[in-house]
Amino acid sequence: MSRGTALITGASSGIGEAFVRLFAAEGFDLVLTARREEKLQELAADLPATTKIVVLPGDLSTTAGITTFCESVSGQSLEIDVLVNNAGMMVEQGFANLTTEQIERTITLNITALTQLIHQFLPAMKARKSGRILNVASVAAFHPVPGMDIYAATKAYVLSFSEALAENLRDTGISVTALCPGLTDTDMVDTSVAGAMPTFMISQPDEVARSGFDALMNREVICIPGNVNRLALAWSQHQPRWLVRGLGGLANKLTPQR
Ligand SMILES: NC(=O)c1ccc[n+]([C@@H]2O[C@H](COP(=O)([O-])OP(=O)(O)OC[C@H]3O[C@@H](n4cnc5c(N)ncnc54)[C@H](OP(=O)(O)O)[C@@H]3O)[C@@H](O)[C@H]2O)c1
C-alpha cells in the first residue's frame, strides 16, 4: 500500500535523483519534475512497477514557468503528502560578471519556486491536517560565502524561511525540514573543486538523501548530513562573523578563477 505521494523537484539528477529512488523504495508514489523530460522518463522506467509516477517537466527558474507548473499539477488533481523542494542552481563566475538573466534565474529557482510551491500545496495540507515539506538548503546557508555570493544568500533565505514556517505550523500536523548538505558529488560541483578536496569531505547523493528522508520522517527542523559538516558548522557558529567571512574571502582568493 502506498505511503502517500511525494512531489520532488530537481528530480533528474544528483540529490533529487537519489531522493526519487529512496522515496520509491520506501513505498511512496511520485510526481517528478525538472527541465530534462527524457532523464525523468528514464528514471521513472527504472523504478519498481508498483510505484505510481507522474512526470511533469518544467522550468522553475522563471515566474511564468512556475505558474505553468503549478497549473499542470492542479490539472492532475493530485494530493501531495510530501513536497521536496530540491531543485537549485549555482552560478559562480563572480557577481559583477553575471548577467541580469543569470541573477534572476538563480533567485527565482532557489527562492521563488520553493516559496510558491509551498504556498500552492499548504492549504490542502492544512485542510488534511497532515503533510511534510523538505527544503534543500546548504551548509552555505549559515554564513556568507564570498565567491558563491548569491547562491549562499538564497540558501540563507531557504533556511530562515523553513525555520519560521516550521514554527508557524507547529502542532498542525505539517512539518518543515531544512536539509543543509555540504559538498556533495553531483553535477553542480565542478570536478576540479571536488578533485581538490579530500574524499572524507565529499558526501554522496544517496547518503544525503537518506539523512534528509530520515529527518523528514522524524519531523526534524534542521538536518546537516555528515559529521565533518556538523563539526565545521559548530566551530564557525562560535566564531565572530568577521573571521568566518574573512576566511571565506581568503579561500575564494586562493581558488583558481574560471
Ligand atoms: N552538490 C552540492 O555540493 C550541494 C550542496 C548543498 C546543497 N545542494 C543543493 O542540492 C540541491 C540539488 O542539487 P544537486 O547537487 O543534486 O545538483 P544537480 O545534480 O545539478 O541537480 C539540480 C537539479 O535541479 C534541476 N534544475 C536545475 N535548473 C532547473 C530549472 N531551471 N527548472 C527546474 N529544475 C531545474 C536539475 O534538473 P534539469 O537540469 O533537468 O532541469 C536537477 O535535477 C540544490 O538545491 C543544491 O543547491 C547541493
Residues in a beta bridge with 6: 30, 82
Check pocket membership of 57 for ligand 1, CB cut-off 6 A: no
In testing the pocket of ligand 1, which one of 66, 89, 155 has its CB within 8 Å of the most ligand atoms? 89
**CA distances (Å), 37 to each of 57, 58, 120, in order?**
5, 8, 23
Higher-pLDDT residue of 18 and 147 is 18
Does residue 12 contact residue 35 with C-beta atoms inside 8 Å? Answer: yes
Show the 3-state SS of 217-242.
Answer: HCCCCEECCCHHHHHHHHHHCCCCHH
Please identify, in words, the CATH class of the domain defined by 5-254: alpha beta
Which residues have a Cβ under 8 Å from the Cβ of 171 and sit 6 or more positions away?
Answer: none
Query: Can you tell me the distance from the alpha carbon of 239 to that of 34, in angstroms, rounded to the nearest whole number?
Result: 38
Atom of ligand 1 nearest to the CA of 155: 47
Does residue 102 contact residue 151 with C-beta atoms inside 8 Å? Answer: no
pLDDT in tens, 208-242: 999 999 999 999 999 999 999 999 999 999 999 99
Instruction: Specify the residue with its C-alpha closest to ligand 1, atom 25.
Output: 10
Q: E strands along the chain, which residues?
A: 5-9, 29-33, 53-55, 82-85, 131-136, 174-179, 222-223
Least confident of 125-129, 184-188, 189-193: 189-193
- In the predicted structure, residue 69 carries a pLDDT above the cut 50: yes
- In the predicted structure, residue 172 carries a pLDDT above the cut 50: yes
Atom of ligand 1 nearest to the CA of 9: 34
pLDDT in tens, 100-130: 999 999 999 999 999 999 999 999 999 999 9
Average pLDDT score, the chain? 94
Residue 239 corresponds to which amino acid?
A: Q
Buried b vs exposed e over 189-215: b needs ≥16 C-beta within 10 Å?
A: beeeeeeeeeeeebbebebbbebbbeb
Task: Name the DSSP letter for residue 162.
Answer: H
Q: Which of 142, 151, 157, 161 is catalytic?
A: 151
Query: Can you tell me the distance from the alpha carbon of 178 to that of 222, in angstroms, rounded to the nearest whole number?
Result: 5
Q: Is 50 helix (H, G, I), strand (E, B) or coil?
A: coil
Dist. CA 227 → ligand 1 center (Å): 23
- Quickly tell me which residue has 511520485 as its cell: 30
pLDDT in tens, 24-49: 999 999 999 999 999 999 999 999 99
The model's pTM is 0.96
Query: Can you tell me the distance from the alpha carbon of 213 to that of 193, in angstroms, rounded to the nearest whole number?
Result: 27
Check pocket membership of 186 for ligand 1, CB cut-off 6 A: yes
**Domain range summary for the chain, segments of one domain joined by +:** 5-254
Told to judge if 151 belongs to the known catalytic residues of this protein, a careful annotator would answer yes
Q: Is 110 helix (H, G, I), strand (E, B) or coil?
A: helix
Check pocket membership of 194 for ligand 1, CB cut-off 6 A: no
Dist. CA 10 → ligand 1 center (Å): 5
